[in-house]
Structure 1
Amino acid sequence: MKQYLDRLSEIYRAIDRAYSEALRHYNFSCDGCPDNCCVTKFHHHTLVEELYLAEGFKKLDEAELGAIILRAQNVAETHNSSSEDIRIMCPLNENGLCVLYEFRPMICRIHGVP
């Protein structure tokens, strides 16, 4: 399994470099973006991405993990209580930053690229 997660990490680093180049080329910034990816409900990620994200969870202490679980339960309840596509902050977002930024899925890495 480690070989797959290591390979995904390499792919993510390449994506992050390309994303940074695109940001510079288009003079793009996430600041003030009305289409905040952290409030977008994404359904598309792969099993290996899920396993990679799980590696990030292993690095959290109990308090951090508990806070994320509580936020995730609230997000799930909100989504499940409405037939509308509700935009609500990702439970991994804390004070405007992703707690598991290094381990975030590809869609979170490339969302918003022009």
Structure 2
Amino acid sequence: MMSTLDKYAHLLAEVDAWFNSCLTHHQEQIICVKGCSKCCRGLFDITMLDGALLKRGFDLLSAEMQDTLRLKARERIKVIQALWPEFEQPFILNSHSEDEIEELMASDNDTPCLLLDENGLCLLYEYRPMTCRLHGLPLVDICGEVMESEWCTLNFTGIDPLQLDSLKWKFREAFHREGILGRAFTKQLTGLERDELDTFIAAALLIDFEGFIKS
């Protein structure tokens, strides 16, 4: 039987298939490809499900690379703790208000993601969060509902992608499935189903998810 995390990885593979289809149809209009890291900066919240998948990939890195990234992660956490002294293991954001989270993210808007190597490549690309996979393109459901109306300004110059049927996908279904998996995973972690249980990328590398579940 597939674990919740494996089911989520399968969902992300479907997201990737959609994105690759968009690239096939609009290769000349989409700059967002593996190796582009222009938007990979600043703090942004991710789900604990995304965090656990990142940690799965992190655990496969060499011991030396893990040590390097842990050091960077701890430095980022220290910056956060300067504003949020109580931000400790297991690094859950949801005790803070949306305004507090937005204020914190705005204070660190230009720092490159610690997962980028010296060439700007993501060290955990295959394990990256859903938001990283969706970013750069507008999100229009097959029913016509616009779920995200913005897109990277480097993409679709001179064209309105909101009018392109080839970009439409089953986003409502995908986000519904993400929610179900997220609630199942938070129940594994905390014993309670919660609609939101979020963290930051740097924090995810330091969380002991196995210990979290056992405790």
Task: Please report the TM-score for the alignment, with normalisation by the length of structure 2.
Answer: 0.45
1:50 aligns with 2:51: yes
More helix by share: 1
Residue in structure 1 matching 2:128, options 97, 104, 108 = 104
Distance 1:60 1:38 in 2: 20
Percent identity of paired positions between Structure 1 and Structure 2: 31
Task: Please report the TM-score for the alignment, with normalisation by the length of structure 1.
Answer: 0.78
Is 2-11 or 103-112 further displaced after alignment?
A: 2-11
Give the structure 1 partner of residue 197 of structure 2. Answer: none
Is 97-106 or 76-85 further displaced after alignment?
A: 76-85
Give the structure 2 partner of residue 66 of structure 1. Answer: 67
Map 1:14-93 → 2, pairs under 5 A: 14-26=14-26, 27-30=29-32, 36-43=38-45, 45-77=46-78, 84-93=107-116
Q: Which has the larger radius of gyration?
A: 2
Residue 51 of structure 1, CA deviation: 1.2
Give the structure 1 partner of residue 212 of structure 2. Answer: none
Distance 1:25 1:40 in 2: 30
The code of the aligned residue for 2:8 comes to L
Contact in 2 for aligned 1:37/1:108 (Cα 8 Å)? no
Contact in 1 for aligned 2:42/2:108 (Cα 8 Å)? no
Structure 1 unmatched ranges of 5 or more: none
- Across the aligned residues of Structure 1 and Structure 2, the Cα RMSD in angstroms comes to 2.6
The code of the aligned residue for 1:42 comes to F
Which structure carries more relative contact order (alpha carbon 8 Å, separation 6+)?
Answer: 1
The code of the aligned residue for 1:41 comes to L
Kindly tell me the number of residue pairs found equivalent between the two proteins: 111
Is 46-55 or 76-85 further displaced after alignment?
A: 76-85
Give the structure 1 partner of residue 6 of structure 2. Answer: 6
Residue 21 of structure 1, CA deviation: 1.9
